[in-house]
Amino acid sequence: MAALRKISYVASLLVLLMADLCSPVCVEVPSETKAVQGYHMKLQCISCMKREEVSADTFVEWYYRPEDGNDALIYEYRGGPLESLGTGPFHGRIQWNGSKDMQDVSITILNVTKNDSGIFTCNVTRDLNFEIHRPSVKRSKFIHLIVTEEAEEDFTSVVSEIMMYILLVFLTLWLLIEMVYCYRKVSKAEETTQESATDYLAIPSENKENCVVPVEE
């Protein structure tokens, strides 16, 4: 699962990079929802601006709600990253991973613990800078994070592993068949050569000068 998560993470970064380099198009990639205790976990929140030609002031708030608790503000961005709580379970364990254009406002939880399971809410508020007025647009994204002690075996990885073994067995059988075929072909060629040599030796000496040993292709 860890390998697949890394691949998915790299693929997401490549998609975002391509979108940033090629055009102003923003791609909203969903966040991973499963983390492993003791590892870092990126909570991905991408909120695309619908009108790129209009500048905006963006404010971000991250809330956390445990399975049996209430929402609590754990992180906010107001012109710069700002950890909201001086104390608390996430103090010193949150890292800002947002982009410069503020369309990616993701954070990373460092050293995830079992107690981090719960619902994370990403609130993005944009104040659009029009000449006459400044309308405000707000969007929210929810991430239900589940933390496990060990990485769970993913169904896709299991299927991929089974297909790999099937392919390996098929290639092995094909190689054995090719080896047997080549061996029989070489053996048959050697038998033909030996028979031709035996027939040649059986001809009387006086007739060998006028005899041509047939060669089979």
pLDDT above 50: residue 30: yes
**Of the listed ranges 39-43, 65-69, 204-208, the one predicted with least confidence:** 204-208
Choice between 29 and 201, residue whose per-residue pLDDT is larger: 29
CATH fold of 2-152: Immunoglobulin-like (2.60.40)
141 pLDDT band, cuts 50/70/90, is: very high
pLDDT of residue 23: 41
62 pLDDT band, cuts 50/70/90, is: very high
pLDDT above 70: residue 162: yes
Q: Please enumerate, as own/partner, the contacts of 82-89 that have beta carbons within 8 Å and a separation of 24 or more.
A: 89/113, 89/115, 89/116
pLDDT above 80: residue 15: no
pLDDT of residue 187: 83
pLDDT of residue 79: 80
pLDDT of residue 9: 44
Mean pLDDT of 18-41: 73
121, 63 Cβ separation under 8 angstroms: yes
pLDDT of residue 8: 47
Phi-psi region of 111 (alpha: psi -120 to 50; beta: other; left: phi over 0): left
pLDDT of residue 200: 60
**Of the listed ranges 43-47, 103-107, 148-152, the one predicted with least confidence:** 148-152
Residue 53, both tokens? 């030609």
pLDDT of residue 6: 45
Chain-wide mean pLDDT for the chain? 77
d(CA 123, CA 86): 20
